[in-house]
């Protein structure tokens, strides 16, 4: 098979890029085993605008880089951009940032509001959600202009639009092969048959899977400086819970907890909890992480009864372009050699930026050829974490 551009990896970065390339007349194909498998399906679906990076009151590189992402996503969600996400389920148009009664957390909220005042505003007490109307809540609430998306809906929408350019492969048995000075992708289909795919550009957007793809080639660390991992152990609690989307602030520059709410296949509510519990729980037994999260919620929401609810954890392996000090990159990262580019968006919200930069940096042929995957197996959407 011959295509203009081959994308390896079915997360949001690869799908967004595929959507834009196809509309521009690029004969592009994406290969994956399951769409969103790995980091994308494990995302909370938050389209960050930088507020949580401004909790110290300083406008960091990450804050400035990500600040325009909600606007780009909203254009897509309104059907006003090349990537049409108008059928995606938006869980909430805005999130809450809540400060507890301690002076440290109040000051953190104050600095965030000053640094990012155009993207957040104080919530009047008479407009508080029921969860925060309790007499024991002595903090304050801000509304963040950052939507939260239903990630399975996002993936399903893109799958429907791009199905003719999607090919399901066995990723464990497929890989890059040298052909002279360039590379081709040797795909193994689910039935075991093989397909050699030649492409003018091969773009790897497989998250942690990029590492294995490169390891099977002669591409050196000089050409591709490498990947780093920043793992999380996310916490899930299922039960009779209110639907909230909020960051709880403390004295740190990271949220004490970031909570998003989801409905499982049986209609039950699941809280998906990130922030400090997920960061600090890496490498620890699930029971220990759950107990620590229960103590944190008891301190943040002492009037709320979480007894009798079901708890679990989910390990997330965040893969990023390697940084000398191991810190989180402020922006998407990509490297190019021969006809291979390896890319990491860093965060779900950065998918539009990564796509734009790849198109600017690479010479993309536009043959205008017709779809190439018709009649071949198409990758399904990965199962959401709360339905596993």
What are phi and psi for residue 357, nearest 5 degrees?
-70, -35
Give the residue ranges of DSSP H helices in the chain: 12-23, 61-66, 69-77, 103-115, 151-162, 209-215, 276-280, 286-300, 351-361
Q: What pLDDT score was predicted for residue 60?
A: 56
As to burial, measured by CB atoms within 10 angstroms (0-12 exposed, 13-18 middle, 19+ buried), residue 182 is middle
Taken in order 22, 214, 326, 36, is the CA torsion positive or negative?
positive
CA atoms within 13 A on the CB side of 381: 22
Cβ-based neighbours of 141, under 8 Å, separated by 6 or more: 96, 97, 98, 99, 122, 123, 128, 132
What is the C-alpha end-to-end distance of the chain, expressed in Å? 35
The answer to whether 249 and 383 are in contact (CB under 8 A) is no
Q: Which residue has the higher pLDDT, 111 or 174?
A: 174
How do beta strands 140-144 and 95-99 pair?
antiparallel
At residue 72, does pLDDT exceed 80? yes
Q: What pLDDT score was predicted for residue 375?
A: 85
Q: What pLDDT score was predicted for residue 51?
A: 60
What percent of the chain has a predicted confidence (pLDDT) above 70?
A: 90
What percent of the chain has a predicted confidence (pLDDT) above 90?
A: 72
How do beta strands 310-321 and 227-239 pair?
antiparallel
Nearest to 211 by CA among 200, 219, 201, 222: 219
The answer to whether 289 and 313 are in contact (CB under 8 A) is yes
Cα-based angle 107, 113, 119 (whole degrees, multiple of 5): 160
CA atoms within 13 A on the CB side of 368: 0
Mean per-residue pLDDT for 61-86? 84
At residue 251, does pLDDT exceed 80? no
Global pTM value: 0.93
Report the chain's mean pLDDT, rounded to a whole number: 90
pLDDT category of residue 95 using cuts at 50, 70 and 90: very high
pLDDT digits (tens, 9 = 90+) for 167-212: 999 999 999 999 999 999 999 999 999 999 999 999 999 999 999 9
Mean per-residue pLDDT for 335-340? 94
Q: What pLDDT score was predicted for residue 52?
A: 55
Q: What pLDDT score was predicted for residue 204?
A: 97
From 85-94, 106-115, 117-126, 229-238, the region with the lowest mean pLDDT = 106-115
Nearest to 95 by CA among 299, 225, 200, 245: 245
Q: Residue 281: how many CB atoms within 10 A of its CB?
A: 23
Residue recorded with tokens 């869980």: 91
pLDDT category of residue 216 using cuts at 50, 70 and 90: confident
Taken in order 48, 311, 319, 149, is the CA torsion positive or negative?
negative
Mean per-residue pLDDT for 362-376? 82
How do beta strands 175-179 and 182-188 pair?
antiparallel
Q: What pLDDT score was predicted for residue 330?
A: 85
pLDDT digits (tens, 9 = 90+) for 272-330: 999 999 999 999 999 999 999 999 999 999 999 988 899 999 999 999 998 888 888 88
Cβ-based neighbours of 178, under 8 Å, separated by 6 or more: 217, 218
Cα-based angle 280, 282, 283 (whole degrees, multiple of 5): 130
pLDDT category of residue 53 using cuts at 50, 70 and 90: low
At residue 115, does pLDDT exceed 60? no
DSSP code of 374? T
pLDDT category of residue 100 using cuts at 50, 70 and 90: confident
At residue 56, does pLDDT exceed 60? no
Mean per-residue pLDDT for 127-132? 95
Mean per-residue pLDDT for 112-137? 81
Q: What pLDDT score was predicted for residue 383?
A: 97
pLDDT digits (tens, 9 = 90+) for 147-163: 999 999 999 999 999 99
Mean per-residue pLDDT for 103-131? 72
Taken in order 361, 365, 370, 374, is the CA torsion positive or negative?
negative
Nearest to 32 by CA among 378, 385, 305, 387: 378
Q: What pLDDT score was predicted for residue 367?
A: 85
pLDDT category of residue 369 using cuts at 50, 70 and 90: confident
At residue 64, does pLDDT exceed 60? no
């Amino acid at each position: 098979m011959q295509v203009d551009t081959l994308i390896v990896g079915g997360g949001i970065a690869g799908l967004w890029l595929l959507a834009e390339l196809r509309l521009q007349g690029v004969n592009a194909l994406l290969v994956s085993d399951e769409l969103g498998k790995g980091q994308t399906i494990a995302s909370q679906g938050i389209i960050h605008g930088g507020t949580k990076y401004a909790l110290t009151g300083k406008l960091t590189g990450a804050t400035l880089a990500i600040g325009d992402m909600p606007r780009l996503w909203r254009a897509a969600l309104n059907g006003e951009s090349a990537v049409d996400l108008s059928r995606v389920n938006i869980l909430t148009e805005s999130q809450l940032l809540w400060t507890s009664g301690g002076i440290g957390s109040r000051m953190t909220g104050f600095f965030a509001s000053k640094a990012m005042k155009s993207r957040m505003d104080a919530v009047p007490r008479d407009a508080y959600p029921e969860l925060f109307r309790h007499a024991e809540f002595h903090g304050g609430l801000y509304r963040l202009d950052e939507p939260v998306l239903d990630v399975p809906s996002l993936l399903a929408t893109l799958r429907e639009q791009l199905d003719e350019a999607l090919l399901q492969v066995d990723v464990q048995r497929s890989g890059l092969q040298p052909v002279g000075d360039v590379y081709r992708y040797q795909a193994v289909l689910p039935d075991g048959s093989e397909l050699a795919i030649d492409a003018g550009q091969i773009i790897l957007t497989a998250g942690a899977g990029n590492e294995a793809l490169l390891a099977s080639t002669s591409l050196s660390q000089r050409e591709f400086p490498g990947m780093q991992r920043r793992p999380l152990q996310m916490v899930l609690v299922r039960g009779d819970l209110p639907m909230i989307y909020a960051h709880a602030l403390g004295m740190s520059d990271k949220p004490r907890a970031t909570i998003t709410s989801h409905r499982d296949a049986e209609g039950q509510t699941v809280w998906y909890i990130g922030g400090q519990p997920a960061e600090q729980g890496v490498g620890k037994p699930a029971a220990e992480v759950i107990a620590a999260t229960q103590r944190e919620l008891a301190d943040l929401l002492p009037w709320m009864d979480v007894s009798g609810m079901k708890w679990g954890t989910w390990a997330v392996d965040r893969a990023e372009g390697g940084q000398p000090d191991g810190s989180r990159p402020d922006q998407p990262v990509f490297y190019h050699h021969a006809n291979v580019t390896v890319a990491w968006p860093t965060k779900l919200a950065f998918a539009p930026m990564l796509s734009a930069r790849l198109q600017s940096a690479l010479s993309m042929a536009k043959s205008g050829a017709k779809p190439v995957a018709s009649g071949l197996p198409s990758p399904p959407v990965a199962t959401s974490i709360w339905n596993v």
